[in-house]
Structure 1
Amino acid sequence: MQPVSLARFTIDRLFPRSSLHVIYSSFALHWLSKVPDEVMVKGSFAWNKGRVHYGGAKEDVVMAYRQQYERDMCRFLNARAKEVVSGGLLVILVPGRPNEVEHSKCIGNVLFEVLGCCLLDMAKEGKIDEQKIDDLNIPVYYASPQELEYIVNENGYFTIDRMEGLPRIKEPETKHAARRLALGIRVGVEAVFKGHLEDETIDELFELYSKKLEQEPTVYSSGGASIMFAVFRRNYKYC
């Protein structure tokens, strides 16, 4: 069972043609419309066995996620181009990663990797069927400014007026900070997990996750991360 992602509703047409002057999207575009198909196919080069995300996975898995992100962003830009007037603005705020930071060192990916390790620990103890881990992938992709710029330029409907990374506020290395972060991750991904795991199992998973973050605070206090702020202007030549 695949949960319905909010991204499916935001990447397609929502408003009448040329009816808006400014469109604002906040903390939504890192969510994919779905898990890439090839990631879920046993025997595929991109089969993501034993993992719940692409962070730390082999290159074929990373590429599958990236290609799904590119398809979704293209659909998003096409839909917004119909809705916004010529010369109108599309403003986005989205978590990503700096150009120089590898996927495996992006803080968001590292946090998902730790969550996957907690699931594997529970599977070793017989609390979760390992097949369920193979079937569970989090549909999130953290793009770099370079990747986003390429997609916008290739799409052609918008010109980039401004794009910058906002400074990251590091969490203190405290027990309270670790628990708050674990709760934030749970709020974000619990709907994905509910299609695969029982409620009691999810409770136990995030209790284990919180303890692991408490024990290894450098997981969330270091690593590369960026909040991208971008302003795109609707081109006149595509009217």
Structure 2
Amino acid sequence: MKTIKEKHSLLMRWTHWVNFPVLAIMIWSGLFIYWANDSYGISVFGITMIRFFPEWFYSYFHIPQRLAEGMAFHFLFMWFFVINGILYVLYTFFSGAWRELVPGQRTFKEAWQVLLHDLHIRKTLPPQQKYNAAQRIAYTAIIIMGVGSVSTGLAIYKPVQFYWLCWLCGGYHFARILHFALTIGYVFFFVVHILQVVLAGWNNFRSVISGFEVGEDKEKLGTGQFTSEKTEK
């Protein structure tokens, strides 16, 4: 017998879905800012061997002329990103949901078992709760990354006013590298997250939209089987 049970609250789903377009616009606008001063690449003895983007890419999209546009969008949606993140953290803290998200002593070991299962190397999964071990690590990491993005972003934006924050981030140049590295981390997280959704199946994806999950009522199923066996005897 199929049952419907609540899995994700409205606020949890709201912050999840709002964060996706906001973060996408932040990355898009942040690239405009980065492209205006493309100083990163792989160099050997002062000779640039690899650049992230070729010259034709800049010419085709007229990127050097779009710095102001990128800054305007980036600083506007930064507020939505921060407010959405604060709401999410406050909810998980006061609702007690953080207990289901924060990794425990066995989480890293079980996350490895989840990975082996997803790669079809291991047949059985470790004990599953609301979130598996890999998800707990990923969701905790994304919160830490969000704090890091805001901190390094402020250090880059106002290095004089937030000189102490800039110092904590290792200086202006290192803060800029960290900010860029975190952006790559978001893209990597998004790819892995989509793969996890595909592997988890439609029922899991539906619960993130509706908040409810469809499952089997094992207790009623077991009672029915017991009654049937007793009747046959």
If the length of structure 2 is used for normalisation, what is the TM-score? Answer: 0.26
Structure in which a larger fraction of residues adopt strand: 1
Structure in which a larger fraction of residues adopt helix: 2
Please say which structure displays the higher CA radius of gyration. Answer: 2
